[in-house]
A and B are shown apart, each in its own frame.
Chain A
Amino acid sequence: AQSVTQLGSHVSVSEGALVLLRCNYSSSVPPYLFWYVQYPNQGLQLLLKYTSAATLVKGINGFEAEFKKSETSFHLTKPSAHMSDAAEYFCAVSNTGGFKTIFGAGTRLFVKA
Protein backbone atom coordinates (compact mmCIF):
# COMPACT_ATOMS: atom_id res chain seq x y z
CA ALA A 1 0.00 0.00 0.00
CA GLN A 2 1.12 3.51 -0.69
CA SER A 3 1.32 6.30 1.83
CA VAL A 4 2.63 9.83 2.17
CA THR A 5 3.86 11.57 5.29
CA GLN A 6 4.38 15.30 5.42
CA LEU A 7 6.52 16.35 8.36
CA GLY A 8 5.16 19.45 10.00
CA SER A 9 1.58 20.60 9.63
CA HIS A 10 2.77 24.21 9.86
CA VAL A 11 6.00 25.80 8.67
CA SER A 12 6.88 29.46 9.18
CA VAL A 13 9.68 31.27 7.35
CA SER A 14 10.74 34.87 6.89
CA GLU A 15 10.42 36.51 3.52
CA GLY A 16 13.61 35.83 1.55
CA ALA A 17 14.49 32.72 3.56
CA LEU A 18 14.77 29.17 2.29
CA VAL A 19 11.56 27.18 2.10
CA LEU A 20 11.83 23.46 2.90
CA LEU A 21 8.72 21.30 3.09
CA ARG A 22 9.32 17.66 3.85
CA CYS A 23 7.62 14.65 2.31
CA ASN A 24 8.33 10.94 2.72
CA TYR A 25 6.51 8.28 0.81
CA SER A 26 5.99 4.55 0.93
CA SER A 27 5.43 2.57 -2.24
CA SER A 28 6.10 -1.02 -3.24
CA VAL A 29 6.62 -0.02 -6.87
CA PRO A 30 8.36 2.95 -8.48
CA PRO A 31 6.21 5.93 -7.65
CA TYR A 32 5.00 9.00 -9.40
CA LEU A 33 5.29 11.91 -6.99
CA PHE A 34 3.64 15.31 -6.98
CA TRP A 35 3.48 18.56 -5.08
CA TYR A 36 0.33 20.65 -5.16
CA VAL A 37 -0.40 24.10 -3.73
CA GLN A 38 -3.76 25.29 -2.46
CA TYR A 39 -4.65 28.90 -1.78
CA PRO A 40 -7.64 29.64 0.49
CA ASN A 41 -10.98 28.63 -0.97
CA GLN A 42 -9.40 27.40 -4.20
CA GLY A 43 -8.70 24.06 -5.78
CA LEU A 44 -5.30 22.41 -5.79
CA GLN A 45 -2.77 23.49 -8.40
CA LEU A 46 0.01 21.22 -9.62
CA LEU A 47 3.42 22.63 -8.69
CA LEU A 48 5.64 19.86 -10.04
CA LYS A 49 5.79 16.14 -10.72
CA TYR A 50 8.36 13.34 -10.69
CA THR A 51 7.80 10.61 -13.25
CA SER A 52 11.08 8.64 -13.15
CA ALA A 53 13.07 10.99 -15.36
CA ALA A 54 15.45 13.49 -13.72
CA THR A 55 15.57 13.21 -9.93
CA LEU A 56 15.66 16.99 -9.51
CA VAL A 57 12.38 18.40 -10.70
CA LYS A 58 11.72 22.05 -11.31
CA GLY A 59 8.22 23.44 -11.03
CA ILE A 60 6.34 26.67 -11.20
CA ASN A 61 6.92 29.73 -9.01
CA GLY A 62 10.59 28.85 -8.41
CA PHE A 63 9.92 25.62 -6.52
CA GLU A 64 11.86 22.42 -7.01
CA ALA A 65 11.93 18.97 -5.45
CA GLU A 66 14.46 16.17 -5.36
CA PHE A 67 13.54 12.50 -5.50
CA LYS A 68 15.79 10.45 -3.20
CA LYS A 69 14.99 6.77 -3.49
CA SER A 70 17.36 5.74 -0.68
CA GLU A 71 15.59 8.09 1.71
CA THR A 72 12.10 7.62 0.20
CA SER A 73 11.83 11.39 0.23
CA PHE A 74 10.57 14.08 -2.10
CA HIS A 75 11.17 17.37 -0.27
CA LEU A 76 10.03 20.67 -1.76
CA THR A 77 12.35 23.68 -1.69
CA LYS A 78 12.48 27.26 -2.79
CA PRO A 79 15.60 29.39 -2.28
CA SER A 80 13.81 32.60 -1.31
CA ALA A 81 10.31 32.79 0.10
CA HIS A 82 7.87 35.39 -1.10
CA MET A 83 4.76 36.56 0.70
CA SER A 84 2.67 35.12 -2.14
CA ASP A 85 3.99 31.61 -1.30
CA ALA A 86 1.83 31.50 1.82
CA ALA A 87 -0.55 28.62 1.16
CA GLU A 88 -1.10 24.95 1.93
CA TYR A 89 1.10 22.42 0.19
CA PHE A 90 0.27 18.78 -0.47
CA CYS A 91 2.61 15.98 -1.40
CA ALA A 92 1.04 13.08 -3.30
CA VAL A 93 1.97 9.67 -4.71
CA SER A 94 0.55 7.47 -7.43
CA ASN A 95 1.86 4.41 -9.21
CA THR A 96 1.79 2.74 -12.59
CA GLY A 97 -1.57 1.27 -13.40
CA GLY A 98 -3.26 2.81 -10.39
CA PHE A 99 -6.28 5.05 -10.63
CA LYS A 100 -5.90 6.71 -7.28
CA THR A 101 -3.52 9.32 -5.89
CA ILE A 102 -2.68 9.32 -2.22
CA PHE A 103 -2.32 12.77 -0.67
CA GLY A 104 -0.45 13.79 2.42
CA ALA A 105 -2.18 15.71 5.19
CA GLY A 106 -0.75 19.00 3.97
CA THR A 107 1.67 21.61 5.30
CA ARG A 108 0.57 25.17 5.78
CA LEU A 109 3.34 27.62 4.93
CA PHE A 110 3.39 31.00 6.65
CA VAL A 111 5.69 33.73 5.33
CA LYS A 112 6.63 36.55 7.72
CA ALA A 113 7.53 40.01 6.52
Chain B
Amino acid sequence: SQTIHQWPATLVQPVGSPLSLECTVEGTSNPNLYWYRQAAGRGLQLLFYSVGIGQISSEVPQNLSASRPQDRQFILSSKKLLLSDSGFYLCAWRTGGSYEQYFGPGTRLTVT
Protein backbone atom coordinates (compact mmCIF):
# COMPACT_ATOMS: atom_id res chain seq x y z
CA SER B 1 0.00 0.00 0.00
CA GLN B 2 1.01 3.61 -0.48
CA THR B 3 2.30 5.82 2.31
CA ILE B 4 3.24 9.48 2.39
CA HIS B 5 5.64 10.97 4.92
CA GLN B 6 6.35 14.56 5.85
CA TRP B 7 8.94 15.97 8.19
CA PRO B 8 9.41 17.65 10.41
CA ALA B 9 6.00 17.56 12.06
CA THR B 10 6.47 20.96 13.69
CA LEU B 11 9.00 23.71 13.16
CA VAL B 12 9.61 27.09 14.75
CA GLN B 13 11.92 29.34 12.77
CA PRO B 14 12.95 33.00 13.06
CA VAL B 15 12.21 35.51 10.33
CA GLY B 16 14.94 35.51 7.70
CA SER B 17 16.04 31.94 8.30
CA PRO B 18 16.01 29.24 5.59
CA LEU B 19 13.43 26.49 5.28
CA SER B 20 13.45 22.94 4.00
CA LEU B 21 10.42 20.67 4.27
CA GLU B 22 10.54 17.18 2.87
CA CYS B 23 7.87 14.85 1.56
CA THR B 24 8.32 11.27 0.39
CA VAL B 25 5.86 8.77 -1.02
CA GLU B 26 6.21 5.01 -0.83
CA GLY B 27 4.48 2.26 -2.76
CA THR B 28 3.85 4.02 -6.06
CA SER B 29 5.81 5.20 -9.07
CA ASN B 30 5.76 8.48 -10.96
CA PRO B 31 3.13 10.16 -8.78
CA ASN B 32 1.93 13.70 -9.24
CA LEU B 33 3.06 15.61 -6.15
CA TYR B 34 1.63 18.73 -4.54
CA TRP B 35 2.46 21.26 -1.84
CA TYR B 36 -0.38 23.14 -0.14
CA ARG B 37 -0.47 25.68 2.66
CA GLN B 38 -3.26 26.30 5.14
CA ALA B 39 -3.12 29.59 6.98
CA ALA B 40 -4.95 29.70 10.30
CA GLY B 41 -8.70 29.33 9.79
CA ARG B 42 -8.41 29.32 6.01
CA GLY B 43 -8.67 26.82 3.19
CA LEU B 44 -5.99 25.15 1.12
CA GLN B 45 -3.70 27.19 -1.09
CA LEU B 46 -1.88 25.25 -3.81
CA LEU B 47 1.77 26.29 -3.84
CA PHE B 48 3.49 23.90 -6.27
CA TYR B 49 2.86 20.72 -8.16
CA SER B 50 5.07 18.32 -10.06
CA VAL B 51 4.28 15.69 -12.67
CA GLY B 52 7.81 14.29 -12.86
CA ILE B 53 11.41 14.57 -11.71
CA GLY B 54 12.68 18.11 -12.15
CA GLN B 55 9.27 19.36 -13.37
CA ILE B 56 7.82 22.01 -11.06
CA SER B 57 4.80 24.24 -11.63
CA SER B 58 4.44 27.24 -9.35
CA GLU B 59 1.10 28.66 -8.34
CA VAL B 60 2.32 31.47 -6.10
CA PRO B 61 5.24 33.83 -6.85
CA GLN B 62 6.41 34.17 -3.28
CA ASN B 63 9.70 33.48 -1.57
CA LEU B 64 9.14 29.74 -1.69
CA SER B 65 10.52 27.20 -4.12
CA ALA B 66 10.11 23.49 -4.68
CA SER B 67 12.26 20.74 -6.07
CA ARG B 68 11.79 17.11 -7.00
CA PRO B 69 15.20 15.48 -7.01
CA GLN B 70 13.83 11.93 -7.05
CA ASP B 71 10.64 10.33 -8.31
CA ARG B 72 8.99 10.10 -4.90
CA GLN B 73 10.62 13.03 -3.11
CA PHE B 74 9.30 16.57 -3.04
CA ILE B 75 11.04 19.40 -1.16
CA LEU B 76 9.72 22.84 -0.25
CA SER B 77 12.32 25.50 0.43
CA SER B 78 12.84 29.12 1.25
CA LYS B 79 16.02 31.16 1.53
CA LYS B 80 14.51 33.72 3.92
CA LEU B 81 11.28 33.11 5.82
CA LEU B 82 8.67 35.80 6.31
CA LEU B 83 6.11 36.02 9.12
CA SER B 84 3.43 35.38 6.52
CA ASP B 85 4.96 31.98 5.76
CA SER B 86 3.54 30.60 9.00
CA GLY B 87 0.95 27.92 8.44
CA PHE B 88 0.24 24.24 8.05
CA TYR B 89 2.02 22.75 5.05
CA LEU B 90 0.56 19.70 3.41
CA CYS B 91 2.07 17.43 0.80
CA ALA B 92 -0.18 15.29 -1.36
CA TRP B 93 0.12 12.78 -4.18
CA ARG B 94 -2.03 11.16 -6.80
CA THR B 95 -1.43 8.71 -9.59
CA GLY B 96 -1.54 9.88 -13.18
CA GLY B 97 -4.61 7.77 -13.87
CA SER B 98 -6.83 8.92 -11.03
CA TYR B 99 -7.93 12.27 -9.67
CA GLU B 100 -8.21 11.89 -5.92
CA GLN B 101 -5.29 13.17 -3.89
CA TYR B 102 -3.85 11.59 -0.78
CA PHE B 103 -2.39 13.82 1.88
CA GLY B 104 0.48 13.57 4.28
CA PRO B 105 0.22 14.39 7.99
CA GLY B 106 1.43 17.97 7.51
CA THR B 107 4.10 20.26 8.97
CA ARG B 108 3.13 23.07 11.32
CA LEU B 109 5.49 26.01 10.65
CA THR B 110 5.62 28.99 12.96
CA VAL B 111 7.80 31.91 11.93
CA THR B 112 8.70 34.17 14.86
Measured CB to CB, the residues of A under 8 A from B are 32, 34, 36, 41-46, 49, 51, 90, 94-95, 98-101, 103-106
Contact = CB atoms under 8 A, between A and B. Distances in A.
Interface in B42-56: 42-44, 46, 49, 51
A100 B105 contact: no
Interface stretch (B14-22, B67-75, B79-87, B96-104): B96-104
Main secondary structure of the interface of B (DSSP, over half): strand
A103 B43 contact: yes
A39 to B, nearest CB: 11
B66 interface: no
Interface residues of B, number: 20
Interface of B: 32, 42-44, 46, 49, 51, 57, 88, 90, 92, 99-106, 108
20 contacts: A32-B100, A34-B99, A34-B100, A42-B105, A43-B90, A43-B92, A43-B106, A44-B44, A46-B101, A49-B100, A51-B99, A90-B43, A90-B44, A98-B99, A99-B32, A99-B57, A101-B101, A103-B43, A104-B43, A106-B43
Nearest to B9: A41
Contact of B51 (A41, A45, A99): A99
Contact of B102 (A41, A46, A104): A46
Given A34-B99, A95-B99, A104-B43, 7 more contacts: A32-B99, A41-B108, A46-B100, A90-B43, A98-B99, A99-B49, A105-B43
Nearest to A96: B99
A59 to B, nearest CB: 11
Nearest to A33: B99
Contacts of A36: 103
Contacts of A45: 103
A68 to B, nearest CB: 20
B76 to A, nearest CB: 15
Contacts of A51: 99
Nearest to A45: B103
Contacts of A49: 99-100
